[in-house]
Amino acid sequence: MTADIIKFILGIKIFWNKYRKILQYLLPVVLIGMLVVIRLTLFGFIAETPYLYFFLVVILCTWVGEFYAGILTTLISAVVANYFFIPPMGFDLRPTAFFGMAFFIFEGILLTYLIENRRQSVQNLHNSNKRITNILESITDAFISFDKDWHIVYCNPQVHDYFGWKRRDVLGKNIWEKFPETTGGVFYKACHKSMKSGMPHHFEAQSLRSHKWFEVRTYPASEGLNVYITDISDRKDVDKLKDNFISIASHELKTPTTAILAFSQLLKKHLTRSRDSQSKMLANKIETQLKRLINLLNVLLDISKIQNGRLELHPEYFDLNDIVNQQIASVLSSSPHHKIIFKSQLKTRIYGDKFRLGQVLANLLTNAIKYSPIGSKIYVRTNKVGQNIKVEVTDSGVGIPKIEQKKIFDVYYRAQSQKDVVSGFGLGLYISSEIVKSHHGSMKVKSQPGNGSTFYFTLPVVAKSDIATYVKRLNSKKDNPWPQTHL
């Protein structure tokens, strides 16, 4: 029965769409005719308010037809109502009847205009929604839209390819209830952070299900959160190949280069007694360049270790001030024209990897020298602040614009103003901040262009009784350095 009714309605709809152009003008005539017949058969039934019933016809015809169908209905209705329903039958052009008709025409046109206007707005909204949906349906990336209560209000078909979700199973469902395993994970945290802060968020993670790599962008909106997900597995594979190549190449290059350095040092020693100053100078140059090359190879190896979670730390208690003094002496031996002033109020020994933290200090001091004028002063300070050790290196050099300060610790990042002026790879700060992070500390910068910079890092003070837990935490990240998601 219901099926028959639906079939009948659909039939009418198809018929209407097919002959719409004629029907929309025929309908007013039929309806008005029917109204007249009803009026004439049920005599006196609508005589008191003749125009009121015609408004119904105007509304109906404008709604299903077009603007001009509505105008036509208004005009025909005005004439018919005047002729048939204002007694006596026939055209009545006395002032009251005439103004009544004119007023009806005015109201009818206004009504037609308003209905048409509304219909157009609804149609435009519908069209633009359809356009947006078409775009979202055809893109190769996945798109999910949540309301404020985390119900999935829309997702495109790509969620099936990406995560194996069937749309009809997830639409309208609360995502964390539908996929409880995602709760507390990287995706969950990013979505909540974004919804709470009202700020977009961006992260990359590997799916624990499909092992694909995804780049996820979250965009908060007034009605909830939109999430845009791109499959970046191909890019990650290429990155991995590149990283492997760099790692193997630097490893393989390091052995012969270290051997050549040893030979060049032997040669230099041999030449100390010689009078051949040209050869001595050349041997010195070879040694300096080889040291630079080995330094670069070490940096590349460190990058590879960090990115694969293989950076090993060998923590012990040591006097940080001793290491600072050693690094200052070492840096000054190759750049004697700067003045480095070291002030310390640090009494405690610190627990960490002496070699790696020395490397961090060397990088900060070398940068301070590299990016500040010859003869300028550099200040180094070590302090205990609360439960942390704080180390600061301040220069009065070129400084870093605010907008670049956030990216300065990213791998390969170099400030735009320095790119072509001072040579470098943009790796030192990345390695340093990763070493500090591995110690559960953090590294930051305060700077003003033209007024110098202060790079500082903090490290937790580790009590002897906490060593076991601290070492456990140091190593816990190493099993898997990459964020993973249950999606």
User: What residues make contact with ligand ADP under the rule CB under 6 A?
Assistant: 363, 367-368, 371, 395, 397-400, 408, 414-415, 418, 424-430, 453
Q: d(Cα 154, Cα 146) in Å, to the nearest integer? A: 7
Is 78 in contact with 98 (CB distance < 8 Å)? no
Closest CA to 443 of 401, 408, 402: 408
Complex with ligand ADP: residue 352 or 399, whichever CB lies closer: 399
| Cβ distance to ligand ADP smaller for residue 308 or 418 | 418
CB 396 within 8 A of CB 267: no
Q: Closer CB to ligand ADP, residue 49 or residue 334?
A: 334
Closest residue to bound ligand ADP by CB = 424
Please say which residue, 73 or 438, places its beta carbon nearer to ligand ADP: 438
d(CA 72, CA 387): 85
Smallest distance from the beta carbon of 314 to ligand ADP, in angstroms? 24
From 209, 129, 216, 203, select the one nearest 161 (Cα to Cα): 209
End-to-end CA distance of the chain: 45
CB of 390 to ligand ADP, least distance (A): 17
CA atoms of 6 and 13, how far apart (whole Å): 10
Q: Which is nearer to ligand ADP, 158 or 363 (CB)?
A: 363
CB of 197 to ligand ADP, least distance (A): 28
Cβ 186 to ligand ADP, closest distance in Å?
A: 27
Tell whether the torsion through CA atoms of 477, 478, 481 and 484 is positive or negative.
negative
**Long-range contacts of range 159-166, CB-CB < 8 Å, 24 or more positions apart?**
162/210, 162/212, 162/214, 162/229, 162/231, 162/487, 163/207, 163/209, 163/210, 163/487, 164/209, 164/210
Q: Closest Cα to residue 186, out of 485, 482, 480?
A: 485
Rounded-to-integer distance, Cα 214 and Cα 207, Å: 7
From the list 365, 388, 361, the residue with the least C-alpha distance to 377 is 365
How many Å apart are CA 58 and CA 74, to the nearest integer? 6
Residue 243, phi then psi, degrees to nearest 5: -60, -40
Q: Is 252 helix (H, G, I), strand (E, B) or coil?
A: helix
